Amino acid sequence: MKLTFLGATHEVTGSCYYLEACGKHILIDYGLEQGKDTYENQDIPVPAARIDAVLLTHAHMDHAGKLPVLYANGYRGKIHATKATSALCEIMLQDSAHIQMFEAEWRNRKGKRTGENPFIPLYTMEDAYGAIRCFTSHSKKR
């Protein structure tokens, strides 16, 4: 078994761990880095399509915010989370995609006047919907 820390190693945002065990490739969280002073997280060492599963610890953007990016890059496996986390992520990821698309539209409208390169959002609403479809909810054991 090998555990690699890909994110949140120099700060408390952008959580992401990569676990190799029994020939499987598992991500634990895939969070968005937040704030003005962010560190460069390491890339996932395998293509997104080769990841076997994602385990999501909880519904915060710094733990789940990049799941639509994972979907956009080819991941179609299961995202395992509690029912509550799954429900919150459905709302949160759609809202995040909406904000990113709105900001891209605004920046591109403004940038067109000044000749700037187009701004591309990190992910789209379609990517968010795709990631949401990958969620598999689990009941909390007591």
Burial class of residue 120 (count of CB atoms within 10 Å of its CB; 0-12, 13-18, 19+): exposed
| pLDDT tens digits along 55-97 | 999 999 999 999 999 999 999 999 999 999 999 999 999 999 9
CATH topology of domain 2-138: Metallo-beta-lactamase; Chain A (3.60.15)
- The ranges assigned to domains in the chain are 2-138
Reported pTM: 0.89
CA distances from 135 to 72, 107, 114, 115 (A): 15, 32, 41, 41
| pLDDT tens digits along 6-41 | 877 666 678 899 999 999 999 999 998 876 655 567
